[in-house]
Structure 1
Amino acid sequence: MNARIVTGPAPGTTSTTTTATTTQPVTGPAPGSDAGGANATVARANKPQGTADFSVAAVFSHHMVLQRHRPIPVFGHGKPGMQLRVRLLDTAPAADSGAAALIAEAAGQILPDGSWRILLPSQEAGGPYQLEIRDLTGTQLVFHDVMIGEVWIASGQSNMEFELHSTREAAQAIAQSADPMLRFYNTPKSGDISDALFEAERESSWQACSPDTTGTMSAVAYYFAARLRRQFGTAMPIGIIDCYIGGTSITCWMDQATIESSDAGRPYWQRYQQALAGHTEQDFHDMTLAWKTKFDHWNAQIESARTANPNVSWDELNAAYGECPWPPPVTPHSQYRPTGAFTAMVARIAPYAVRGVLWYQGEEDAPYSASYAVLLRQMIALWRRVWRIDIGADADQHSSDACTEHTAYTAYTAELPFIIIQLPQWIDRATDEAHADPLDWPVIRDTQWSASRDIPGVTTVCTIDCGEYDNIHPYDKRTVGERAAAIVLRTMYGYRQIAAWGPEPLEIQSYGNTDDGGGVLIRYRHATGLRFNGTVPGTGNTDTLDAVSRAAGQSGFELAGADGIFHDATAQIVPAGIKIGGTAGIFGRENSVGRADDGTPLNHATVSDTPISHTPIDDSTAIRVYSPDVPQPAAIRYAWKSWGPAPVRNAAGLPAIPFRASVSRL
């Protein structure tokens, strides 16, 4: 088995370590995050806590942002049978009465299982409002400074967890972050429903962005939200629900029934059960305490060393203090166990109304990359189920205005949008120097892109150019967040002038024999100004290589024949009207892949030997790939390495998506 890399956190720093090898799939928490267990929370004064009779989910607090243009679920727990009423009030006094104006209200009853959910009718963006929940005895919970706007969930593992204070631009970004209409909620990190979780939830609260608060916000989510704020203007509140844990497998974000329902998920559950076998609760307690003590001590040493010398290298730190003590022990209470984050986090914020989900995860599952395609689709389907609301089934407890939106809302929740951030390039130095790339990350990337082609309402953000060599937590989160924002602004909010897509292979076709000047032609969509730029991440606009052709080993393209062995290939951008092998290139619509200009996914890539017509190729939209080592190509791939050349870009500077495809020959 290929060795895996342990990466540990370094609180308050802008760097991480890739250290000792292990046979377990471990990526660890983001640098600067609280990885030792319970969240470090700050008590929020006057947050309504509820009573033994009824309480509301912890995600409801002062300063929250509610989703516009969707019925608003308000939900919690209490004594079965109790009647509740929810009201939304405009706190600006009415001119005629001086009293707060009623915006919306609805009533409902706590169900036999102790849960309750009441829907308020959808609203336009605005605020500040006041949200009231009361029972028939007069007990009420009142939430102030409530805004209505656009709400997104930011979820996944460490690269989504990576907090703003740990980025390279942290000081400037945080100093300029004051924005009372950009707000966020940090879901308490937990894998177990316990008293510690309840306490963390009582202390959790929505916060407005300011230099005092934004440091603990997901950096990707902050840059995403800030970009939306700039585009929408000051009148549109933006809310982010941070819901992530570094070092988590995708199975941490799924329920047991889903995990055990497939051949892809069952081995995860079996490995977990095997790790628990033979241990007592006292064993779990002792193992966790011993690990946390060691982990906290190591963290304190690293933080102290980096404070004294911000330029100290990780080689020096590892030599002085040893490798990061990671992973933690497997226990039935761990936040890294399968189902843990779903049970203790996702299920406790659902179905809070949101526009969609930003999902950045996959590193932890790389050793099981062949299973990830099934698991990703299962997780998306599961989340869509828990966010789905059947308004018609609960019509008796909602206002008629809410019921009129049944059709639109059901369609929305059935297709909860997912914006998947594709894994960037990364490899650890030891693996690279041993030439032992397991090629797991390219498979995960391909799965993430395939999901956007196969599943309605799923889009992939290509970040192939955003990685860092030997650093699994790249510092540049601005590019990632703003690129995700560009995609949703174009595809979901109608800003069609925004450049959102890098070049995507639309049509692929083999022709002739490379001995006679043939090869493979790739026609790209979103390819205005198609060019080669740089080689690996960080080299764009710094090299003197040709912008219209690249030699084998520098192009990022590889070809394989019938033997399945890939060889580096030469690549050349084909200008309009060029004759290749006696013909000019154009490809049939049936051989297409990628997405239309509006973001609509097209079909899977297929490749054929159908003769190329004489219709000219559009300027700078095609690349010819060839290799003398592969006279009859049977397969092609681009950027199919954990770390390697990926130089294709368009005029907007957006990178081409990595891909692989078979080449059929007659």
Structure 2
Amino acid sequence: MLKAAQIFSNYMVLQRRKNISVFGTGEDGRTVTVTLNGVSASAVVKDGKWQTELSPMEAGGEYEMVITDGTDTITFYHVMIGEVWFCGGQSNMEFEIQNAKDGKELLNTLNANCPVRFYYTPKVGTEEDAEKQGANTCWNTASPENSKYWSAVGLHFALKLSKELGVTVGLIGCNWGGSSASNWVDRETLENDKTISSYIEEYDEKTKGKTYEQMVEEYHQYEKENAEWNEKYSKLCAEKPGTSWEQAAEVLGPNTWPGPVGAINPFRPTNMFHNMVMRVCPYTIQGFLYYQGESDDHKPDSYYRLFTSLISLWREKWGDDELPFILVQLPAFKYAKDPDYRHWSKIRSAQMKAYRTVKNTGIAVITDCGEFDNIHPLDKKPVGERLCLQAEKLVYGMDVKAFGPMFRSYIIKDGGIEVSLDYAENGLTPKGEAKQCFEIAGADGEFTEAEYKIDENDSSKIFVYSDKVNEPKYVRYNWFNYMESFLVNETGIPLAPFSTFDK
């Protein structure tokens, strides 16, 4: 029987000005023809699959798409051609607009005339679940009810972009809270690189000697116990509002999320790549938006390799090694009960290094958008809008100020270190509480708090010094998990954290 891939549905948005990939399944040997807006393309079904490409079109709609193999015919209605962006990552990309700051007010302004549409890739642990759940998915138009589950970051991005470009923007949500980047790549990517192979080696070690049936039984038992724990937690919160996860664990016993490692645990390495990303690939997109890194803070030294491998793999699967990839650098955060481990500093550094070394990438710096003791900051508007500025600059060639200050270089002079910045020529101003943000170290790498002076004649230069370090060698800025003091330029975007100490 002729089928289109699950991502094709009524109200879908297709990418303008690119070949439009259309694909699905059918009976071997049959010729499948796709027609849209007077343009047709055909393909022969082979090994149960077919794929064809329609010629590029300008933005417009609404249209009908007709797919036929001469026996069966599928028709999709209310199709728009505009801009399509893939929203990947973990919980802060997934974070729903209904729970965001001012989200309910924004929802009340949305209706079907809003030029933003959304498709959410089902969160699944197996191919069977992907088939089952995906059958019930579709593109949604905006409304107070439809949109409340949409990515807040994605929606704010799309609202700004659609206004700037005057076209419909389609978002593909493909994200899962708590996921590691290792969930979003294939086994070959992990196995073939010793820097990141520990992710798959640890999985193999923990599942060694277990049968598939045993792993399934273990996970189903966990699901039952976890449901019971969550029910008790809900009752506890009703009785004592504000009960934290840690406090609940003291009363109810520990919560064992994400469950036993095994063949159907959705948080196993590679699962989300195979059963989510590849469910929508190669749907034609303009680029990727990616907000992730929190769940890899236990292995920050290998994150650059893992992250850049993900970018390379996704681009390979979409058949475009220059497909735009715009990332979110992690915000300020730490739990109140924890010391500042500074491991998020290493993740941010890896993210900045990826931006600097991987072509056709952008970066949204949002260190000032974090919240103390809350890993899910509520205000997602600046995140989405800074992503949009990056897209406007990188992809659409618009003359916008998309960057806050960024480290460029340094020289050691006059008993201190002079730091030179990009995007700071029009002045720097402090934002947030006045706390020390610069540190300096000698050859021993032992950092201490430092004073700083912004050059009166050239605000792109900052002189950093300390009476405690007579022969400075290294300097770093906001090298913390959580910080409250920032230097910003005229955009209001903060100076991105940096360190010249790479050990």
Q: If the TM-score is normalised by the length of the shorter chain, which range does it land in?
A: over 0.9
The aligned counterpart of 1:529 is 427
1:63-74 pair list within 5 angstroms? 63-74=11-22
Once residues 99 and 253 of structure 2 are traced to their aligned partners in structure 1, the CA distance between those partners, rounded to angstroms, is 22
Q: Does 1:431 align with 2:359?
A: no
Question: Shift of residue 168 of structure 1?
Answer: 3.1
Greater shift in the superposed pair: 523-532 or 450-459: 523-532
**Cα distance, 1:337–1:110 mapped onto 2, change above 3 Å:** same
CA offsets 1:535-592 (integer angstroms, 9 cap, x no match)? 3xxxxxxxxx5xxxxxxxx23111110111111111121211xxxxxxxxxxxxxxxx
SS of match in other structure, 1:332: coil
Within the candidate set 506, 516, 526, 2:408 is matched to 506
Once residues 266 and 453 of structure 1 are traced to their aligned partners in structure 2, the CA distance between those partners, rounded to angstroms, is 24
Unmatched segments (≥5 aa) in structure 2: none
SS of match in other structure, 2:367: coil
Tell me the amino acid that sits aligned with residue 43 of structure 2: G
1:146-161 pair list within 5 angstroms? 146-161=79-94
Once residues 284 and 64 of structure 1 are traced to their aligned partners in structure 2, the CA distance between those partners, rounded to angstroms, is 38
SS of match in other structure, 1:347: helix
Within the candidate set 356, 363, 368, 2:287 is matched to 356
Q: Does 1:212 align with 2:142?
A: no
Question: Shift of residue 335 of structure 1?
Answer: 1.6
Question: Shift of residue 374 of structure 1?
Answer: 1.1
Within the candidate set 360, 367, 378, 1:464 is matched to 367
* TM-score, length-scaled by structure 1: 0.72
**Cα distance, 1:308–1:223 mapped onto 2, change above 3 Å:** farther
Q: Does 1:559 align with 2:454?
A: no
CA offsets 1:486-531 (integer angstroms, 9 cap, x no match)? 22123322331x3321111233221022xxxxx1112222222302
CA offsets 1:405-462 (integer angstroms, 9 cap, x no match)? xxxxxxxx22111111011111122222xxxx33221111011111111111111111
Once residues 462 and 229 of structure 2 are traced to their aligned partners in structure 1, the CA distance between those partners, rounded to angstroms, is 50
Question: Shift of residue 297 of structure 1?
Answer: 3.0
The aligned counterpart of 1:393 is none
Q: Does 1:629 align with 2:455?
A: no
Question: Shift of residue 643 of structure 1?
Answer: 1.5
Find the structure with the greater CA-based Rg: 1
Within the candidate set 87, 105, 111, 2:40 is matched to 105
Q: Does 1:651 align with 2:490?
A: yes
Once residues 316 and 371 of structure 1 are traced to their aligned partners in structure 2, the CA distance between those partners, rounded to angstroms, is 33
CA offsets 1:604-645 (integer angstroms, 9 cap, x no match)? xxxxxxxxxxxxxx3x22211101111111111111111234
The aligned counterpart of 1:97 is none
Q: Does 1:145 align with 2:145?
A: no
Within the candidate set 428, 431, 441, 2:344 is matched to 441
Question: Shift of residue 284 of structure 1?
Answer: 2.1
The aligned counterpart of 1:587 is none
CA contact (8 A) 2:88 2:173 kept: yes
Tell me the amino acid that sits aligned with residue 127 of structure 2: I
Within the candidate set 467, 473, 483, 2:386 is matched to 483
Percent identity of paired positions between Structure 1 and Structure 2: 35
Q: Does 1:328 align with 2:259?
A: yes
SS of match in other structure, 1:633: coil
Once residues 313 and 200 of structure 1 are traced to their aligned partners in structure 2, the CA distance between those partners, rounded to angstroms, is 32
* TM-score, length-scaled by structure 2: 0.95
Q: Give the aligned CA root-mean-square deviation in angstroms.
A: 2.0
The aligned counterpart of 1:252 is 183
CA contact (8 A) 2:368 2:484 kept: no
Once residues 327 and 158 of structure 1 are traced to their aligned partners in structure 2, the CA distance between those partners, rounded to angstroms, is 14
Question: Shift of residue 239 of structure 1?
Answer: 0.2
**Cα distance, 1:298–1:169 mapped onto 2, change above 3 Å:** farther
Once residues 309 and 438 of structure 1 are traced to their aligned partners in structure 2, the CA distance between those partners, rounded to angstroms, is 31
Once residues 319 and 168 of structure 1 are traced to their aligned partners in structure 2, the CA distance between those partners, rounded to angstroms, is 31
Within the candidate set 277, 291, 296, 2:222 is matched to 291
Once residues 55 and 140 of structure 1 are traced to their aligned partners in structure 2, the CA distance between those partners, rounded to angstroms, is 9
Within the candidate set 183, 186, 199, 1:268 is matched to 199
Unmatched segments (≥5 aa) in structure 1: 1-50, 90-101, 389-412, 514-518, 536-544, 546-553, 577-617
Question: Shift of residue 140 of structure 1?
Answer: 0.7
Tell me the amino acid that sits aligned with residue 329 of structure 2: Q
Tell me the amino acid that sits aligned with residue 556 of structure 1: C
Once residues 45 and 173 of structure 2 are traced to their aligned partners in structure 1, the CA distance between those partners, rounded to angstroms, is 28
The aligned counterpart of 1:495 is 398
CA contact (8 A) 2:116 2:141 kept: yes
Tell me the amino acid that sits aligned with residue 440 of structure 1: H
The aligned counterpart of 1:377 is 308
The aligned counterpart of 1:135 is 69
CA contact (8 A) 2:362 2:394 kept: no
1:300-319 pair list within 5 angstroms? 300-303=231-234
**Cα distance, 1:495–1:362 mapped onto 2, change above 3 Å:** same
SS of match in other structure, 2:228: helix
SS of match in other structure, 2:275: helix
Tell me the amino acid that sits aligned with residue 209 of structure 1: A
